[in-house]
Structure 1
Amino acid sequence: MTQIGHIVIGLIVVVAVVYLLIFILQRWTAHQVAKMAIQQQEWQDAGTRDRIVEDRKMSLMGQTLADFKTLEAQFNQFEEVDLGAAKEQTDKVLFDTKGINFWETKRQFKHLQQQMAVLDEQFEHINAGLQKLETTDAEHKAAVKELESKYKDLRKTLLAKNFTFGEALDKLEDVLAALEDEFADFTKLTEDGDHAAASSVYETLAMETNQLEERMVAIPELVQKLDQKIPAQQSELQNTYDNMVIHGYNLQDQDIQKELNQIETDRQTAKAALAELTLKTVQSKLTGMQAQIDQIYASFEQEYNASLDVQKGLETLQAFLGHVQEQNQELSTMVSQYSENYIFDMSNAEAVQGWGRKLLTIEKQLDDIQLSIANQTIVYSKTQGHLQMIENELKTIEADQLHLFDNLKILPEIGRKAKENLEQAQEELRTIHRRVERQGLPGVPSNYLNFFDQVVSRVEKLSDVINAPRINVDEFQRQMSVVSADLDNLKEMTKQMLEAAQLTGSLVRKANQYRDNAAIGQAVQQAQREYNQFYNFDQAVQILGQQLDRLEPGTTARLQQQIQQDYLEFS
């Protein structure tokens, strides 16, 4: 086959493919157009025309009639003009799909799609408008029946339970009558088919009806509070107050009668507000009245409980006062007795007298409280705090008196201990003196002798204080503290002096081993002079010890340690 033949065959294949593609697209378009034709038929068979005929029987008027006529005109346009044009376009496109001019078919199909979209929107709008009209008509007719029944029930309730509405009854009847007049207008508009105007009336009517129902539910409880609960509480409070006044109760900074009168004034104001159906004002007044009533109840309860506490506390405090006064008398007697044998801080006696005066003041305060109860001038709640202050003061006085009693009680023991301490100090002085004498010393250093004489003098003064007809406790304790410290120092000085004297003797005996050493001999002479002439035993140890330590290092320390060990064993 020649090359030209191949080209011809290829062209034939391409043309066949293109033709096949056009055929398929044309068939698809024809299928879509057929579906649109079915939709057109469904619109025509939907019964919208019959619906309009039926709706026209509702005897519409006013804005509602105008809206209906608009919808009817729109459907006429839809059915007689627009739908017919769409059908013609449908037939044209179906005819075009049988040809091969695909591009013309596509253009006409697109135009048909636009027509169908507009028709669908028009159809939905018309039927929605008709549905709204029919629904509104049904709702208004149902509302007429519902409201008619509701107003009958409300009227029946007002007649059967008129006593539960109190001062609000007349106003409620006026409101119901006005609603019934509005309902008559709404009924006529509904029956006439003027649903647009009826909707406006119904909106207000429904809101006001609900408001009336809510008021009729709320008012009986308000009336019950205003006519029963509050008056009952007022009566109870008035009787309680009168009874409390008879029994001598006084309320602190509170004019109960004035408050009770104000509650009644507020109650009358609330009843007047109820008559005008201003329920927020009524509720506000009720809240305020109840709060005031609760506060008065609380005041009564507080004062009554306070009276029980005061009467019980008064009895307890009087017994406690008697105990503390008896304690004060015993303490005063003790101070007087001990002052014969002891000299102590005069502030103690003054304190006892001061406590006695305070106790007399407290006794008068308790007597005044008893008198105020008898004269019915007491405010129990205020007196509670006063009694607590008295109790605290009595506890403080009792504790202070017990502390002084404990201090005085040990004075005889202090006196006995004082004599024991004096005898012990004197014995320690004699022991020190005997010990020094046993050492056979040529003498003692002047500073030691002076301190020893000082300690002796202080012990003698301590003896004078202790053996006086009246022991000055403070002076004894002061001097005893000084003597104890001096004795400790004297014993330490004695120990050091005797150790130095003994160490000197040991060093001299050690030095005899080196008698041929000139330096040792000279040191022995100097040490003996310090020892025998000046009684400077520490200096003697230093002079001789230095020389011996040069020959035998550690000699002085070794001998001193031995002497201290012997001293401990002797002690």
Structure 2
Amino acid sequence: MPVIEEVDDVKKMHLVGQSQNTFREWSQKWNDISTSSFAELESQIFEVENLNESFRFLKGKKAVIEAEKTMDQMEKKVSEIRDGLKELRETEERNSLAVQQALDVYEELKETIREDEQEYGPAFPELQKQVKMIENEFTQFVALNTSGDPVEAREVLDKAEKHTYEVEALMKKVPPLFEDLNTTFPEQLEEIQQTYEKLMQEQYVFPEEDLVGEIEKVSHRIESSLANLEKTEVETVEFENRETASMIDSLYDILEREMEAQNYVTTNQATIEQYIKHATKNNRQLLIELDHTAQSYALNHNEIGRVRGFQTEVEEIERQNEQMKPQIQQHLLPYSEVRTFYKKVFKVLEDIENQQVEIDDSLHELRKGEKEAQEKIDTFEFKLRNLKRFVEQQRLPGLPNDYLEFFFVATDRIEELSIVLNKIRVNMEEVNRLVTLCEEDLDLLDKKTHDLVDAAALTEQMLQYANRYRHTHEEIREAIDKSYYLFNKEHHYQEALDEIGTALERVEPGAFKRIEDFYFKNPDLV
């Protein structure tokens, strides 16, 4: 399309404001090119033709270059003009679309407010007024644009578009707010009022000082919010509605709390009394059991004092419950307060019962522990006799003093355990301590016994083997003599083994390990 046609097409769009100014600039640039630039180019071409006819080729070539340069510059400027006109055309199309969209929104607002008047409640007159103002603004825009005042027309159009979308936002927000204020909140408040009156007829007591005043306060807030909605103060109403909803929820919570508490109290009133009687009975039986047990066992954990403390707690709970019963019957207490007391009582009584069971179990453990300790004494004595018999069977020349001392310590410990168990009042903590010590003593004595017997047997084996070197190695002879002395006189069997074993290892490396391995692998052959 020729540039002149593009210019005419854009001119027909009746641009306004800055767009019109920009178009004038591009139009002027095209006029400059189409007049002076084309004239200059035509002159340069004419000059080239004259030079060619006069055979002045060098000057002709230079003139051609100048003409080509002028054409390049013109093409570049034309390209810029085309791009500028294209941008203007596209921008205007976008603006026209935006204007049309705003007009479409306005038409929809006008239709909506006409058809759905009831949804806007007291805000309807103000919204209707705002829609009328938008209509006036669009009318003013058309008048200004037609009369050729593009700058002011653009300002009015911007204002109309902004106003349109503001009103659209308002009209979306108002209906749900009005629904809450006109229907939801009043219905909820009516339900709360009716429920409250019903509960008062049933002689409910509320801990809140002025519940009626709180209900009236919510009612006044609804009226105040409706007045703000009439002025389309939407943000204020949104905030107020959130607070009103919260206040209504709180009122519901109060009513539901007392109704649920009434059901809880009615359901658990008899159970509480039974639980108190149950705890009292258990405590009485436990005290009798403790008194009986204390005759035979030492009680080390203040069991009697604790159980008497339970009784004091239960009696105080019973006193408070008996004091509360007529107050409940005469409707002098909120059910929620009674429920709190009942829940606390259940927790305390449950804790007391758990401790009662724990103490009762510990009493049974005393008898069970005593029986087990008596049985263990027999086991300890049997094991002690077996160890003694085992040592005697070895026919050793004697026993080292430290072994004998430990043997007697273990024996005395078992005797001490027997004495403690035979007391009139058995201290089971002391019994359990001694049982543990006896078990440890016997385990250690068993190890010492076998270490002693093994050392004696290995010494004899080493001495027999070392005799082959007695006459050839002086150090073996001396070691044999010293080992015999330690074995037969001192009864230090481990020292005797170390003495002969060390000497034998020097003469015949590996002999000690070989004899030792054979001994432990073939104990019956040694």
Indicate the TM-score class for this superposition, using the shorter chain for normalisation. Answer: 0.5 to 0.7
Offset, 1:166: 0.8
CA–CA separation in structure 2 for the residues paired with 1:64 and 1:553: 129
User: Residue 143 of structure 2 aligns with which residue?
Assistant: 188
User: Residue 293 of structure 1 aligns with which residue?
Assistant: 248
Task: Write out per-residue CA displacement over residues 369-411 of structure 1, whole angstroms, 9 at most, x where no aligned residue.
Answer: 4344324344455555543442343234334444555677799
Q: TM-score, normalised by structure 2?
A: 0.59
CA–CA separation in structure 1 for the residues paired with 2:368 and 2:135: 108
CA–CA separation in structure 2 for the residues paired with 1:384 and 1:334: 35
Question: Match for 2:167: what amino acid?
Answer: L
Match of 1:243 among 188, 198, 213: 198
Aligned-residue sequence identity (percent) comes to 20
Task: Write out per-residue CA displacement over residues 172-217 of structure 1, whole angstroms, 9 at most, x where no aligned residue.
Answer: 1221222222222112123334334322211111121122223223
User: Residue 232 of structure 2 aligns with which residue?
Assistant: 277
CA contact (8 A) 1:250 1:378 kept: yes
CA–CA separation in structure 2 for the residues paired with 1:415 and 1:141: 101
CA–CA separation in structure 1 for the residues paired with 2:138 and 2:17: 19
CA contact (8 A) 2:41 2:67 kept: no
User: Residue 109 of structure 1 aligns with which residue?
Assistant: 65
User: Residue 226 of structure 1 aligns with which residue?
Assistant: 181
CA–CA separation in structure 1 for the residues paired with 2:350 and 2:320: 16
CA–CA separation in structure 2 for the residues paired with 1:51 and 1:90: 32
Offset, 1:94: 5.2
Task: Write out per-residue CA displacement over residues 444-489 of structure 1, whole angstroms, 9 at most, x where no aligned residue.
Answer: xxxxxxxxxxx9xx99xx99x97xxxx55669x99xx9xxx9xx9x
CA contact (8 A) 1:48 1:127 kept: no
User: Residue 373 of structure 1 aligns with which residue?
Assistant: 328
Unaligned runs of 5+ in 2: 376-411, 442-480, 494-526
Question: Match for 1:209: what amino acid?
Answer: T
Question: Match for 2:193: what amino acid?
Answer: Q
Question: Match for 1:199: what amino acid?
Answer: R
User: Residue 125 of structure 1 aligns with which residue?
Assistant: 81
Bigger Cα displacement from structure 2, 92-101 vs 125-134 = 125-134
User: Residue 271 of structure 2 aligns with which residue?
Assistant: 316
Offset, 1:363: 1.0
Match of 2:284 among 329, 343, 347: 329
Question: Match for 1:191: what amino acid?
Answer: T
Offset, 1:103: 6.3
Match of 1:210 among 138, 146, 165: 165
Offset, 1:289: 2.1
Bigger Cα displacement from structure 2, 213-222 vs 328-337 = 328-337
Question: Match for 2:113: what amino acid?
Answer: L
CA contact (8 A) 1:140 1:190 kept: no
CA–CA separation in structure 2 for the residues paired with 1:225 and 1:151: 27
Q: How does 1:33-112 map to 2 (within 5 A)?
A: 46-47=4-5, 55=12, 75-93=30-48, 96=51, 99=55, 101-102=57-58, 105-106=61-62, 109-110=65-66, 112=68
Change (3 A) 1:192 1:338: closer
CA contact (8 A) 2:262 2:336 kept: yes
Answer yes or no: is 1:391 the counterpart of 2:346. Answer: yes
Question: Match for 1:370: what amino acid?
Answer: K
CA–CA separation in structure 2 for the residues paired with 1:73 and 1:177: 42
Match of 2:134 among 179, 184, 192: 179
Task: Write out per-residue CA displacement over residues 120-163 of structure 1, whole angstroms, 9 at most, x where no aligned residue.
Answer: 5268538956994898599769958983x765553343233211
CA–CA separation in structure 1 for the residues paired with 2:298 and 2:52: 141
Offset, 1:350: 5.3
CA contact (8 A) 1:168 1:275 kept: yes
CA contact (8 A) 2:6 2:85 kept: no
CA–CA separation in structure 1 for the residues paired with 2:159 and 2:491: 129
Instruction: Give secondary structure in 2 for the equivalent of 1:159.
Output: helix
Instruction: Give secondary structure in 2 for the equivalent of 1:165.
Output: helix
Offset, 1:365: 2.5
CA contact (8 A) 2:134 2:164 kept: yes
CA–CA separation in structure 1 for the residues paired with 2:24 and 2:486: 144
Change (3 A) 1:316 1:127: closer
Task: Write out per-residue CA displacement over residues 268-327 of structure 1, whole angstroms, 9 at most, x where no aligned residue.
Answer: 332222222221222222222223333443444444444444444443332222122122
Match of 2:223 among 257, 263, 268: 268
Change (3 A) 1:106 1:315: farther
Instruction: Give secondary structure in 1 for the equivalent of 2:232.
Output: coil
User: Residue 168 of structure 1 aligns with which residue?
Assistant: 123
CA contact (8 A) 1:302 1:381 kept: yes
Task: Write out per-residue CA displacement over residues 30-65 of structure 1, whole angstroms, 9 at most, x where no aligned residue.
Answer: xxxxxxxxx9xx65xx4468669x849x7x999998
CA–CA separation in structure 2 for the residues paired with 1:407 and 1:134: 95
CA contact (8 A) 2:283 2:356 kept: yes
CA contact (8 A) 1:68 1:130 kept: no
CA–CA separation in structure 2 for the residues paired with 1:134 and 1:328: 96
CA contact (8 A) 2:45 2:67 kept: no
CA contact (8 A) 1:55 1:134 kept: no
CA–CA separation in structure 1 for the residues paired with 2:7 and 2:158: 32
CA–CA separation in structure 2 for the residues paired with 1:330 and 1:150: 86
Instruction: Give secondary structure in 1 for the equivalent of 2:311.
Output: helix
CA–CA separation in structure 1 for the residues paired with 2:427 and 2:95: 111
Alpha-carbon RMSD across the aligned residues, in angstroms, is 5.6
Offset, 1:76: 4.6
Change (3 A) 1:400 1:95: same
Change (3 A) 1:117 1:251: farther
Instruction: Give secondary structure in 2 for the equivalent of 1:376.
Output: coil
CA–CA separation in structure 1 for the residues paired with 2:83 and 2:362: 113
Change (3 A) 1:308 1:62: closer
Question: Match for 1:356: what amino acid?
Answer: Q
CA–CA separation in structure 1 for the residues paired with 2:70 and 2:191: 86
CA contact (8 A) 2:102 2:161 kept: no
Give the count of matched residue pairs: 411
CA–CA separation in structure 1 for the residues paired with 2:136 and 2:491: 138
Match of 1:364 among 311, 319, 334: 319
CA contact (8 A) 1:136 1:195 kept: no
Change (3 A) 1:324 1:193: same
Q: How does 1:17-36 map to 2 (within 5 A)?
A: none
CA–CA separation in structure 1 for the residues paired with 2:27 and 2:309: 115
Offset, 1:69: 7.1
CA contact (8 A) 2:298 2:427 kept: yes
CA–CA separation in structure 2 for the residues paired with 1:74 and 1:228: 67
Change (3 A) 1:165 1:417: closer
Question: Match for 1:390: what amino acid?
Answer: V
CA–CA separation in structure 2 for the residues paired with 1:169 and 1:225: 16
Change (3 A) 1:345 1:122: closer
Offset, 1:413: 10
CA–CA separation in structure 1 for the residues paired with 2:32 and 2:297: 135
Unaligned runs of 5+ in 1: 1-38, 421-454, 489-548, 562-571
Offset, 1:164: 0.9
**Higher CA-based Rg:** 1
